[in-house]
Amino acid sequence: MEPYGQISNGIELLSPPLDWTRETKFPHAVWAAGRALVALLLPNFDVVDNIWLEPAAWEGIGCTKITKAKNEGSANGNLESRSYLEKKLIFCFGSYIASQMLLPFGEENFLSSSELKQAQEIATRMVIQYGWGPDDSPAIYISSKAVGTLSMGNNHEFEMAAKVEKMYNLAYDKARDMLQKNRQVLEKIVEQLLEFENLTQKELLNILEDYGGTREQEPFFLSKHCYKELISGSSVYGDGNSQVLDLLGTST
């Protein structure tokens, strides 16, 4: 997700804790572990350099350093392949699903809010700009170089919004399946991150191997995943369609 090994931090705490205890560290460790593990499990995806906690910083946050895959970017004219974008879409859900799995029932982790928003944007771009939706529509309704957008009509825009939401939910389901199959690995990464506050790529890979991690294999395409008809309330967001329509510039 970070093109040049950029460091990503979890959300800063408005009122930093007086004591950087295991309890206060826990949601930050889960956030970092979820991101790192999904990146490790995806084939030919970005490289996890290391993850760590920053107890000395006033805000007390978790950090990840993930370098963009070498086979993406400048070598391909700065164009990201369909396969890479689908993996990136799945990656956006790593920290959110890890929080759902490991945080106490009813406790929300707001550290993942920006990643969920990015997932909406990626899914929208794939469907509207590239035609990479569930049905591989050849029509493109927006271009990065265009002055305006092609009007679709309200009914068709709702249909496109449904396709975007389907891609979004497929990625969520895939990320959830990956982490559920590797729950023991996820829990161990969180445990060791809480204890040592820093894990390198080698240490993460050792945990993955020692605890029987199951990595995804190529060819890997989200679009080949088993499609399911959306049911009411199946979106990660309850108002998924309305959020997609906002991105499409359609008023509801």
Predicted local distance difference test score (pLDDT) of residue 19: 74
Tens-digit pLDDT profile for residues 157-211: 788 888 899 999 999 999 999 999 999 999 999 999 999 999 999 999 999 999 9
Predicted local distance difference test score (pLDDT) of residue 108: 77
**Angstrom distance (rounded) from CA 34 to CA 175:** 10
What does the block give as tokens for 104? 């106490």
Distances in Å between the alpha carbon of 200 and those of 36, 68, 86, 147, 169?
Answer: 11, 17, 26, 45, 31
Q: Could you tell me the CATH number of the domain that includes residue 58?
A: 1.20.58.760
Predicted local distance difference test score (pLDDT) of residue 81: 87
Q: Report yes or no on 103 lying in a domain.
A: yes
Residue in the structure block whose two tokens are 């590797």:
182
**Angstrom distance (rounded) from CA 215 to CA 24:** 30
Structural domain including 16 reads 7-248
Q: What is the pTM of this model?
A: 0.78
Q: Is 14 exposed, middle or buried (0-12, 13-18, 19+ CB in 10 A)?
A: exposed
**Angstrom distance (rounded) from CA 232 to CA 169:** 12
Highest mean pLDDT out of 64-68, 102-106, 245-249: 64-68
Q: Report yes or no on 90 lying in a domain.
A: yes
Find the farthest-apart pair of alpha carbons in the chain and give their distance in angstroms, rounded: 56
Q: Report yes or no on 1 lying in a domain.
A: no
Q: Report yes or no on 162 lying in a domain.
A: yes
Q: Report yes or no on 56 lying in a domain.
A: yes
Instruction: Check: CB of residue 252 under 8 Å from CB of residue 242.
Output: yes
* Domain count across the chain: 1
Tell me the mean pLDDT in the region 230-247.
49
Q: Write down the mean pLDDT value for the chain.
A: 79
Tens-digit pLDDT profile for residues 99-157: 999 999 878 778 899 999 999 999 999 988 888 887 766 555 555 554 444 455 567 67
Q: Report yes or no on 2 lying in a domain.
A: no
